[in-house]
């Protein structure tokens, strides 16, 4: 029982980070109708930025996060302006392929700048172990959970109470109406990419603290896709719930089933099995809207 609860707890903490990354994806999708395959690569860049500021420049954690957020905003803006803006009005496939190309370029650039070796910054975060009964909560999980929660709450407040948040929600609802009301849709596109980039980078710093910064950190994006599909592609609340569900399921399934399988590695393939099942039985996810199409 303790083993089970332990798996659920660490799974939930991991799930919060998945949810955070998935939210970035959902924001871009809602505001600029682009499926961002490169979301996982923002996470990878985040991991490397964490390493750069925390270890190479030896800055305190708060300064590192602020600097990383600034870099992420610039990155998001540049990416949107240079690669996605020329494709406005192009078919969906072109946009998806562009984000795939973006993923390839980001991965190449990261390898070029930081090298292919695994970078770790384990000791930088405060180390302590919280004990609740027989359960032990690893510090990275706890910090990850808290930072994810804070970021998600800030985002929700931003969308709920600021004027720009309202503009973004309106853009997600109906682009033509927004344009006729005098809101600059291009600015909304830019900001949505900047937010997604920031969210991905924050998630990357957290994951980097747990597992180290490496190129394969980008694979986490694939798990975020599973989260997004499970929650419904246009629902932020769905992304949070689905993130936690997937994190817990993955951890529990891997904890119990991995010893039974010869090859192991169930945690890596698990999200894809979820994807296939969701797509076959409930393509619009738990909280998504069913699409109605007309000719």
Partner 1 sequence: MTLRLAHNLKSAYALDMAFIRTRQQWGWLLGLLVVLVVLPLFASDQILTVLTIIGIAIISVHGLNILTGYCGQISIGHVGFMAVGGYTSAILTAKLGWSFWAALPVAALAAGVAGLIFGLPSLKIKGFYLIMATIAAHFIIIWLVLQFRTITGGPDGMPVPKPAIGSFVFKTKASYFYLVMAITLLATFFATNIVRTRAGRAFVAIRDNDLAAEVMGIRLWSYKLQAFFVGCVYAGVAGALVVHYFAFASVDQFPFMDSVWYLGMLIVGGMGSTVGAIFGAVSLKLLDEAVTIVGPILSAAVAPQAAAALALFMRGLVIAVFLIFEPRGLAHGWELIKAYFRLWPFSFEDAD
Kindly list the residues in this chain that would bind partner 1 in the complex (CB under 8 A): 35, 37, 83, 86-87, 90, 92-94, 96-98, 100-112, 115-116, 222, 225, 229, 233, 261-263, 265, 268-269, 272-273, 275-276, 279-280, 283, 293-295
Of residues 144 and 189, the one with the C-beta less far from partner 1: 189
Q: To 5 degrees, how large is the angle CA 55–CA 61–CA 65?
A: 100
CA of 265: how far to CAs of 104, 250, 255, 271, 287, in Å? 25, 11, 11, 12, 29
Give the 3-state secondary structure of residue 26: helix
Task: Kindly tell me which of 37 and 73 has the beta carbon lying closer to partner 1.
Answer: 37
Given a contact cutoff of 8 angstroms between Cβ atoms, the answer to whether 270 and 215 are in contact is no
Which residue is associated with the tokens 């407040």? 157
Smallest separation, CB 123 to partner 1 (Å): 25
Given the complex with partner 1, which of 90 and 162 has the nearer CB atom? 90
Give min distance, CB of 98 to partner 1, in A.
Answer: 5
* Alpha carbons 231 and 22: distance in angstroms, whole number: 10
Q: In angstroms, give the least distance from the CB of 295 to partner 1.
A: 5
Residue 106 beta carbon to partner 1: minimum distance, rounded to whole angstroms: 8
CB of 102 to partner 1, least distance (A): 7
* Residue 137 three-state SS: strand
In the complex, minimum distance from the CB of residue 294 to partner 1, in angstroms, rounded to a whole number: 8
d(CA 287, CA 285): 6
Please, what is the end-to-end C-alpha distance for the chain in angstroms? 54
Nearer to partner 1, 182 or 293 (CB): 293
Are residues 75 and 200 in contact, defined by beta-carbon separation less than 8 angstroms? no
User: Residue 211 or 219: which CB sits closer to partner 1?
Assistant: 219
In the complex with partner 1, which residue's Cβ is closer, 67 or 100? Answer: 100
Q: Which of 9, 16, 8 is nearest to 241 (CA)?
A: 16
Distance CA 32, CA 52 (A): 31
């Amino acid at each position: 029982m303790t083993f089970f609860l332990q798996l659920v707890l660490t799974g939930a903490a991991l799930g919060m980070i998945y949810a955070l990354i998935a939210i970035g994806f959902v924001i871009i999708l809602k505001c600029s109708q682009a499926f961002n395959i490169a979301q996982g690569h923002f996470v990878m860049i985040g991991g490397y930025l964490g390493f750069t500021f925390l270890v190479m420049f030896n800055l305190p954690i708060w300064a590192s996060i602020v600097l990383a957020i600034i870099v992420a905003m610039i990155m998001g803006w540049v990416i949107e302006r240079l690669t996605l803006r020329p494709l406005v009005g192009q078919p969906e496939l072109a946009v998806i392929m562009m984000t795939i190309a973006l993923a390839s370029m980001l991965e190449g650039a990261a390898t070029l700048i930081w090298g292919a070796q695994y970078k770790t910054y384990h000791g930088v975060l405060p180390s302590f172990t919280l004990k609740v009964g027989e359960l032990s909560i690893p510090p990275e999980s706890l910090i990850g959970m808290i930072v994810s929660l804070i970021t998600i709450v800030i985002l929700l407040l931003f969308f709920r109470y600021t004027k720009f948040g309202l503009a973004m929600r309106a853009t997600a609802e109906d682009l033509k109406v927004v344009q006729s009301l005098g809101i600059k849709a291009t600015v909304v596109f830019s900001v949505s990419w900047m937010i997604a980039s920031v969210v991905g980078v924050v998630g990357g710093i957290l994951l980097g603290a747990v597992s180290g910064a490496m190129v394969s950190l980008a694979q986490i994006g694939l798990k975020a896709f599973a989260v997004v599909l499970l929650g419904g592609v246009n629902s932020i609340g769905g992304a949070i719930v689905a993130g936690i569900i997937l994190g817990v399921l993955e951890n529990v399934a891997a904890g119990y089933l991995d010893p039974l399988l010869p090859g192991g590695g169930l945690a890596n393939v698990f999200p894809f099995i979820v994807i296939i099942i969701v797509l076959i039985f409930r393509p619009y996810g738990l909280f998504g809207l069913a699409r109605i199409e007309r000719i």
